[in-house]
Structure 1
Amino acid sequence: MRIHLTDTTASRINKALVRARRAIGSPAVGVVLTMVIVTDEENAHDSLKAAEQASQEHPSRILVVVKRPDRTPHRRTDSRIDAEVRVGSDAGSGEAVLLRLHGEVSGHADSVVLPLLLPDAPVVVWWPVDAPATPAWDPLGALAQRRITDAYAVERPLRQLAARVASYAPGDTDLAWTRLTPWRSMLAAALDQARARVTSAVIESEADNPSAELLAGWFADRLRVPVERVVTAGPVITAVRLRTEHGDIVVDRPEGAVASLSIPGQPTRALALKVRTTAELIAEELRRLDPDEAYAAALRAEVKAPPAAPAPTGPSSHEQRRNA
Structure 2
Amino acid sequence: MGAPAVGMVLTLVVVVDEAGQYDALRAATEAAREHPSRILMVINRDPAEPNRLDAEIRVGESAPGEVVLLRLYGELTEHADSVITPLLLTDTPVVVWWPGDCPEIPAKDPVGHLGSRRILDARSAPDAVAAISSRAASYVPGDTDLAWTRLTPWRSLLAAAFDQPVGKVTGGVVEAAPGNPSAPLLAAWLCDRLEAPIEVAESGGPGLTGVRLSIASGGELTVSRTDARLATLSRPGHPDRRVALARRPASELLAEELRRLDPDEIYAAAIRRLAEMKGQGRS
Q: Under a length normalisation based on structure 1, what TM-score does the superposition of the two structures give?
A: 0.83
Aligned twin of 1:98 = 69
The superposition leaves residues 192-219 of structure 1 with CA deviations (integer Å, 9 ceiling, x where unpaired) of 2243111111111011211001111101
Which of 224, 232, 252 is 2:195 aligned to?
224
Which of 74, 81, 87 is 1:110 aligned to?
81
Moved over 4 A (4+): none
Aligned twin of 1:207 = 178
Q: 1:59 Cα shift?
A: 0.5
User: What runs of 5+ residues in structure 2 fail to find an aligned partner?
Assistant: none
State the structure with more CA Rg: 1
Secondary structure of the 1:176 match is helix
Q: Under a length normalisation based on structure 2, what TM-score does the superposition of the two structures give?
A: 0.95
Aligned twin of 1:251 = 223
Q: 1:305 Cα shift?
A: 7.9
The superposition leaves residues 234-273 of structure 1 with CA deviations (integer Å, 9 ceiling, x where unpaired) of 1111000111124211110011311111111111010000
Q: 1:70 Cα shift?
A: 2.6
Which of 191, 205, 218 is 2:162 aligned to?
191
Amino acid at match of 1:46: D
Aligned twin of 1:157 = 128
Alignment check: 8 A CA contact 2:5 2:38 kept: no
Alignment check: 8 A CA contact 2:47 2:77 kept: no
Secondary structure of the 1:225 match is coil
In the aligned structure 1, how far is the partner of 2:235 from the partner of 2:256? 28
Amino acid at match of 2:44: K
Alignment check: 8 A CA contact 1:205 1:231 kept: yes
Alignment check: 8 A CA contact 1:37 1:126 kept: yes
Secondary structure of the 2:205 match is coil
Among the aligned pairs, what percent are the same residue?
A: 55
In the aligned structure 1, how far is the partner of 2:168 from the partner of 2:271? 24
Q: How many aligned positions are there? A: 277
Which of 43, 46, 52 is 2:29 aligned to?
52
The superposition leaves residues 3-51 of structure 1 with CA deviations (integer Å, 9 ceiling, x where unpaired) of xxxxxxxxxxxxxx24xx6xxxxx3221100000000000001101000
Aligned twin of 2:90 = 119
User: What runs of 5+ residues in structure 1 fail to find an aligned partner?
Assistant: 1-16, 22-26, 72-76, 307-324
Amino acid at match of 2:31: A
Secondary structure of the 2:162 match is helix
